[in-house]
Structure 1
Amino acid sequence: MFRAIMSRIKQGHRTMPYPAAPLQMPERFRGYPVVSTPTGTAECHDASAECPYGAFTATGGGCLDMGKCLFCAECPAGNIQFTTDYQLAVTGREQLLVRPGSEHHHARPLSPDLLRMFGRSLKFREVSAGGCNACEADTNVLSTIGWDLGRFGIQFVASPRHADGLWITGPASKNMAQALLTTYEAIPAPKIVVACGACAINGGPYIDSPQVCNGADNLIPVDLYIPGCPPHPATILDGLLRILDRLR
């Protein structure tokens, strides 16, 4: 017993200091995009035609939809640059549209009534609606000792009856649509819904396939959008802490 205690003392505190201290992302990380005014309309038009998911359009001098973007960084146009800013989550679908000089939106806190209910204890039931397991894996990372999601009072539960909200990954395939709706209905009101990843937001690489619903908000209302393919654990945690009014 004594040796076990000494071992724990030598190991020290393993959980990262975030959000008390900022996170440093690697240089290769592809975060918030910056869209600059294109130098030529032909180049911008080519970028719109080349993106197979329709993430970039030439409208209004160029517009990148983070909800559709897979952050592959292979945009043909040279007017799109990805920063290392991991703060991507928003509470409105239209806030995922990035244009030259547009405001960088962040997720807004829940209403005061919901904050009183969920501010210290928030439970999610996760549904993988046809996902590839990438978003699920990065969500699970938050439960490891380094991130320790439970220290914020946020947990994932096995039953929708025990949940405060629905966590959705995957493109909401037709085969999972009914399961998604049934789970949503089983969660007691009031409840919140999180769409995690490009698939859950807009279908991802499966967009416009007859077998998917092109995003969860075509079936149920969504309160938090977390873009990425998959979103980084820091992006996920940032969005959750912001809706709980833990970040300023």
Structure 2
Amino acid sequence: MYNIVKKLVQHGTVTVEYPKKNTKSTYITGIPEFDYSKCTRCKKCISVCPTGAVVMTDKDGQRGKFPDVNADECIFCRFCEEACSNQAVSLSNKFELAQKSRELLRAAPLYVGDKDVNGIDYELIGKKLNQKIGKKFGRSLHIREVDAGSCNGCDYEVQALNGPYNDIERFGIHFVASPRHADMLLVTGCVSRNMEEALVKTYNATPSPKLVVAAGACACSGGLFKDSYAGRNGIDTILPVDVYIPGCPPRPQALIYGILKAIGRL
């Protein structure tokens, strides 16, 4: 309680002016960045990464393979930074990472999950749908959030969107209690075995045209729970995804960036 009162006295009642005013801060952890002039390719960063997000790839103007990061799998844990004795990797404060294609978040190509078992290219479906929704969702949007097996870290950040500090309703964006009233599903979690059927039913109950946003590393790729017997490797294994928002968890501004990107308002 003391900390809450202290914050109110220090900052007053405020509403973040993002995205008109950028609010990047030095204490915010974002995507890892590499300084290849210091890198010895010892692969310590790869060995300590808990999700396998750090991979060796070819770099323009560099001979041989160098480490890089798959943003859809990265949880911003700082293990790679701590393991590097040459200070060749450090976490940036870049959080505007959301993309409409999972491939754009990756340093290494994605070979698994591009199509479902029936050969349906969900990425193509998502692109075609995106061409039709601009006029329909240009001025307002209703979101149903779905926890499909998360640790609740992402859900706490989603909840913060509705507070007076971030105030996402100033964009005409509202959270609703029923998928039947929703234009967008904002999904967190890796899709656990017990939530898989519920997520599909929620998607089917949402009227078309509709959007699906994967929020957090688990929803994007499975995160720490990737290749687990108890869940899926992200929600695009069972649903078409329009925007991926990486992070563990993604901060509220990153969520706003991804949501606005989904409806073409950036």
1:131 is matched with 150
Q: Secondary structure at the match of 1:39?
A: coil
Alpha-carbon contact 1:34-1:98 (below 8 Å) kept = no
Q: For 2:97 and 2:155, how far apart are their aligned partners in 1?
A: 18
1:195 is matched with 214
Q: Are residue 80 (structure 1) and residue 89 (structure 2) matched?
A: yes
2:183 is matched with 164
Alpha-carbon contact 2:242-2:262 (below 8 Å) kept = no
| Aligned partner (choices 223, 231, 241) of residue 250 of structure 2 | 231
Alpha-carbon contact 2:226-2:233 (below 8 Å) kept = yes
| Aligned partner (choices 64, 67, 72) of residue 72 of structure 2 | 67
Q: Are residue 143 (structure 1) and residue 162 (structure 2) matched?
A: yes
Q: How far is 1:65 from its partner?
A: 0.8
Deviations 1:9-66 (A, max 9, x none): xx997323222222132x221113323437333x12x332332211111232222011
2:49 is matched with 51
Q: For 1:90 and 1:178, how far apart are their aligned partners in 2?
A: 26
- Which structure 1 residue ranges, 5 or more long, are not aligned? 1-10, 100-107
Q: For 1:49 and 1:12, how far apart are their aligned partners in 2?
A: 45
Q: For residue 28 of structure 1, what is the amino acid of its counterpart?
A: Y
Give the percent of matched residue pairs that are identical in Structure 1 and Structure 2.
41
Alpha-carbon contact 1:135-1:231 (below 8 Å) kept = yes
Which one is further off, 152-161 or 57-66? 57-66
Q: For residue 23 of structure 1, what is the amino acid of its counterpart?
A: T
Q: How far is 1:112 from its partner?
A: 4.8
Q: For 2:17 and 2:39, how far apart are their aligned partners in 1?
A: 43
Q: How far is 1:203 from its partner?
A: 1.2
Q: Are residue 97 (structure 1) and residue 95 (structure 2) matched?
A: no
- Which structure 2 residue ranges, 5 or more long, are not aligned? 1-10, 59-65, 109-126
Q: How far is 1:126 from its partner?
A: 1.2
Q: How far is 1:98 from its partner?
A: 4.4
Q: How far is 1:96 from its partner?
A: 1.0
Q: Secondary structure at the match of 1:117?
A: coil
Deviations 1:106-153 (A, max 9, x none): xx9x84531110111111111101111110110110100111111101
Which one is further off, 119-128 or 216-225? 119-128
CA RMSD of aligned residues (A): 2.2
Q: 1:94 to 1:177 in 2, by over 3 A?
A: same
Alpha-carbon contact 1:201-1:225 (below 8 Å) kept = yes
Q: For residue 56 of structure 2, what is the amino acid of its counterpart?
A: A
Q: 1:112 to 1:208 in 2, by over 3 A?
A: closer
Q: For 1:129 and 1:13, how far apart are their aligned partners in 2?
A: 33
Alpha-carbon contact 2:213-2:259 (below 8 Å) kept = no
Q: For 2:147 and 2:130, how far apart are their aligned partners in 1?
A: 27
Aligned residues: 225
Scaled by the length of structure 1, the TM-score of the pair is: 0.83
Alpha-carbon contact 1:32-1:87 (below 8 Å) kept = no
Scaled by the length of structure 2, the TM-score of the pair is: 0.78
Which one is further off, 68-77 or 216-225? 68-77
